[in-house]
Structure 1
Amino acid sequence: MKTVKGDLVKKALRNEFDLIIHGCNCFCTMGAGIAKTIKQEFPEAYKADLATVKGDKSKLGSIRSAEVTVNGKKLKIVNAYTQYDWRGKGVKADYEAIRSAFRKVKETFSGLRIAYPAIGAGLAGGDWKTISKIIDEELEGEEHTLVVFEKE
């Protein structure tokens, strides 16, 4: 896992990556964190989320993607269903869902330049040490980058 600082969305808009992944809950909200920014900047990703069943627990571990054109190049945005809900206290990140989602990303999008924030370790309250190990295992052999948020 390569690590860089910056703004994932701005980097994606500069064509630094072919695919970005962010964690979603199963309720089609995209109302906080980086999901909110993605919803605003890439409404196609939100439309892909809305095409799923709101509140469906079986979405955990699955992915939905949208494709946009940025500066003449294709960018894929992956909604990874890595937590069921966003309400209440405690850890919302589902480690097995994270594993499953990243496995599906590799199966579907191998060979692309992949980037993501610290999925599951922000608002979802998960342990980044555990999550980063899962991501490294599932994306082994892929070019993938953690973008640690820093205002640009």
Structure 2
Amino acid sequence: MSEITYIRGDATAPSGKGAKVIAHVCNDLGGWGKGFVLALSRRWPEPEKAYRAWHRDRAKNDFGLGAVQLIQVDRYLWVANMIGQHGTRTGSKGVPVRYEAIDRALTKLADEAIERSASVHMPRIGCGLAGGKWPRVEPLIAERLVARHIPVTVYSYGEEAPF
């Protein structure tokens, strides 16, 4: 089984050849405006537009924890909006990250990546504003993606602590 590759760089500019999916975690409230999504929106308007429409029409679709939406932003590049956090703030019920939802989303993402013969690129999903811990997320990526022989690259950017 291959390993997760860790590099310092920008996950919105994935390295390597071939088809690629940029995966990230979104909330279940329809909010888009802090964290990694800002970097995505600076590069492409489509992921935000698609996410907002998906949330707006949620009564008629699969929007909810564990769901995944793939948006093509270039010929061989997609962005995966994965619903893996409940709300946006830490409160009496803890941090917003929902590991079980990330696990379900990664399972769906694996099928999509295999269908496209794509590698997966991401920041440390669920570990920024969602409040998750990488030692809980990393095994999910290994089980759902790496175990299915999907190449995964995780990016550390700017002032963020190295791996």
TM, length-normalised to structure 1? 0.86
Aligned residue among 95, 118, 122 for 2:124? 118
* CA displacement at 1:150 relative to structure 2: 2.8
Name the counterpart of 2:49.
Answer: 47
Separation of aligned partners in 2, 1:137 and 1:129: 13
Name the counterpart of 1:61.
Answer: 66
Give the RMSD, CA atoms, in angstroms.
2.2
Percent of residue pairs bearing the same amino acid type: 28
Name the counterpart of 1:5.
Answer: 8
Name the counterpart of 2:96.
Answer: 92
Structure 1 stretches lacking a partner, 5+ long: none
* CA displacement at 1:58 relative to structure 2: 5.7
Would you identify which runs of 4 or more consecutive aligned residues in structure 1 move more than 6 Å?
none
Aligned residue among 21, 24, 40 for 1:22? 24
Deviations 1:117-137 (A, max 9, x none): 111111111111010011110
Structure 2 stretches lacking a partner, 5+ long: none
Separation of aligned partners in 2, 1:31 and 1:132: 25
Deviations 1:39-58 (A, max 9, x none): 2321110111012235x696
- Between the two proteins, the alignment pairs up a number of residues equal to 146
Separation of aligned partners in 2, 1:88 and 1:129: 19
Separation of aligned partners in 1, 2:113 and 2:98: 22
Separation of aligned partners in 1, 2:111 and 2:23: 14
> Which letter maps to 2:42?
Q
TM, length-normalised to structure 2? 0.80
Q: Are the aligned partners of 1:30 and 1:39 in contact in 2 as well (CA < 8 Å)?
A: no
Q: Are the aligned partners of 2:22 and 2:121 in contact in 1 as well (CA < 8 Å)?
A: yes
Separation of aligned partners in 2, 1:136 and 1:88: 27
